[in-house]
A and B are shown apart, each in its own frame.
Chain A
Amino acid sequence: MELVIVEEVQKELNRLANQDVYIHLETTNGAYATHNDESFFSSGAFIRNALVKYEIGQIKGNGPYRIGLKLNIGWVYAEGITHFEVDDQNRLLMAGHDYQGKLAVAFQISPTPFE
């Protein structure tokens, strides 16, 4: 993973547009958030291998970044993205790491299903 380079992420979002892609989208505060701080309201969401096709995907903001995909029949977006990588399976892996380096959000787009 490296820090987001806006032009490169945009190029990858363009590459994966207008075709069937699989989405991994996750937000998390960790399973121990409320155990460590009872006043903390823990929330999160997780979806893996949602099959979608988007007509336009864009990266916005000055960092941490927002990524939005406009689908024919809906939307997918995430905020807080700090890092990205295109892995050896041509998957666009994006993540947001908090100030301690812990993962807070993951947004991944792949032409093939995630294992």
Chain B
Amino acid sequence: MEKERQILVIFPHPDDEAFGVSGTLALHIQKGTPVTYACLTLGEMGRNLGNPPFATRESLPHIRKVELQNAANSIGIQDLRMLGYRDKTVEFEDPEKLADHMGEIIADVNPSLIITFYPGYSVHPDHDATGAAVVKAVGRLAPEKRPKLHCVAFSKNSLDELGAPDIVNDVTAVSDQKIATIQAHASQTQLMIQNMAEKLKANDPDMIAWVNNERFWTYKF
């Protein structure tokens, strides 16, 4: 993994960072690279409210805000920015204004590497809209001024259409930190983490590979 000067991560939901990139971020932070995480929403529309429910539609964002802060702490992220958009509405924002906002953050943070979702290959409409806004903002910069752009993709057609990811990071060395990050989003991950822990304990090769490898596609303009 190349050492970066400054990383900017832009995702729409608390917990988006946990599954696909928290290991990579932890490794970069170990090397001394500062990381800024801009999270667009507080996941207000999450369907997991506990069983029996411990949260309501109205209390969920307050709970997820604390979970997001805890997750950032587990990774070691110092600069966490919550942008105040609403879950499931990102795609309905004015696309130019959203790209403007992303551009302002990029100008302010001045990253050498940006991590976001690959537009069109990230399943959730908020993911695709966030990725598209970031791509638009970076695309507005002169080619020589553009930071590297690494995208996460997980739609069923991503391998067929994008090819194999050009970056696969082995994050085994920080897997405890990664699992702690996933656990920090307890309201959303409580159910799945049990299943994960059981499979890891049983040395399930698919689960081990899924946790320990983080995959990115470099966006090419």
Q: Which of A25-53 contact B (CB under 8 A)?
A: 26, 28, 30-32, 35, 46
Q: What is the minimal beta-carbon distance from B18 to any residue of chain A, in angstroms?
A: 15
Indicate which residue in B46, B48, B56, B156 contacts A1 across the interface (CB closer than 8 Å).
B56
When A28-B45, A35-B156, A46-B88 are in contact, do A106 and B51 touch as well, CB less than 8 Å?
no
Indicate which residue in A30, A32, A35, A101 contacts B53 across the interface (CB closer than 8 Å).
A101
When A26-B57, A31-B88, A93-B56 are in contact, do A103 and B49 touch as well, CB less than 8 Å?
yes
A114 at the interface (CB under 8 A from B): yes
Q: What is the minimal beta-carbon distance from B134 to any residue of chain A, in angstroms?
A: 19
- Mark contacts of B11-52 with chain A using CB atoms, 8 A cut-off: 1 yes-contact digit, 0 otherwise: 000000000000000000000000000000000011111111
Q: Which residues of B contact A30 (CB under 8 A)?
A: 47
B125 at the interface (CB under 8 A from A): yes
Q: Which of B44-82 contact A (CB under 8 A)?
A: 45-54, 56-59
Q: How far does the alpha carbon of A102 sit from the alpha carbon of B49 in the complex, in Å?
A: 7
Contact between B58 and A103, CB atoms less than 8 A apart: no
Contact between A97 and B53, CB atoms less than 8 A apart: yes
Q: How far does the alpha carbon of A40 sit from the alpha carbon of B51 in the complex, in Å?
A: 24
Q: Which residues of A contact B46 (CB under 8 A)?
A: 103
Q: Which of A73-99 contact B (CB under 8 A)?
A: 83, 85, 87, 91, 93, 95, 97
Indicate which residue in A24, A28, A83, A91 contacts B47 across the interface (CB closer than 8 Å).
A28
Q: Which residues of A contact B56 (CB under 8 A)?
A: 1, 85, 87, 93, 95
Contact between B47 and A108, CB atoms less than 8 A apart: no
Q: What is the minimal beta-carbon distance from B91 to any residue of chain A, in angstroms?
A: 11
Contact between B47 and A102, CB atoms less than 8 A apart: yes
Q: What is the minimal beta-carbon distance from A12 to any residue of chain B, in angstroms?
A: 14
B172 at the interface (CB under 8 A from A): no
Q: What is the minimal beta-carbon distance from A1 to any residue of chain B, in angstroms?
A: 4
Q: Which residues of B contact A95 (CB under 8 A)?
A: 49, 53, 56-57
Q: Which of B121-162 contact A (CB under 8 A)?
A: 123-126, 155-156
Q: How far does the alpha carbon of A46 sit from the alpha carbon of B156 in the complex, in Å?
A: 27
A62 at the interface (CB under 8 A from B): no
Q: Which residues of B contact A108 (CB under 8 A)?
A: 57-58
Q: What is the minimal beta-carbon distance from A24 to any residue of chain B, in angstroms?
A: 7
Q: Which residues of B contact A91 (CB under 8 A)?
A: 58
Contact between B57 and A93, CB atoms less than 8 A apart: yes
Q: How far does the alpha carbon of A1 sit from the alpha carbon of B50 in the complex, in Å?
A: 10
Q: What is the minimal beta-carbon distance from A20 to any residue of chain B, in angstroms?
A: 19
CB-CB nearest in chain B for A32: B123
When A28-B45, A31-B125, A35-B156 are in contact, do A101 and B57 touch as well, CB less than 8 Å?
no
Q: How far does the alpha carbon of A100 sit from the alpha carbon of B45 in the complex, in Å?
A: 17
Q: A1-B53, A24-B57, A93-B58 are in contact. List 12 more A-B contacts (CB 8 A).
A: A1-B54, A32-B124, A83-B53, A87-B58, A91-B58, A97-B53, A101-B50, A101-B52, A101-B53, A102-B49, A103-B57, A114-B58
